[in-house]
Amino acid sequence: MKAYAAKEKEVGEENTRQAEKFILLRTLDFLWMDHLEAMEHLRSSVRLRAYGQRDPLVEYKNEGHRIFQKLL
pLDDT score of 16? 96
pLDDT score of 34? 96
Tens digits of per-residue pLDDT, 3-50?
A: 999 999 999 999 999 999 999 999 999 999 999 999 999 998 888 877
Could you give the residue ranges of the DSSP H alpha helices within 1-72? 2-11, 13-49, 56-71
Instruction: Identify the structural domains of the chain with CATH numbers, from first to last.
Output: 2-71 (1.10.3060.10)
Can you tell me the distance from the alpha carbon of 71 to that of 55, in angstroms, rounded to the nearest whole number? Answer: 24
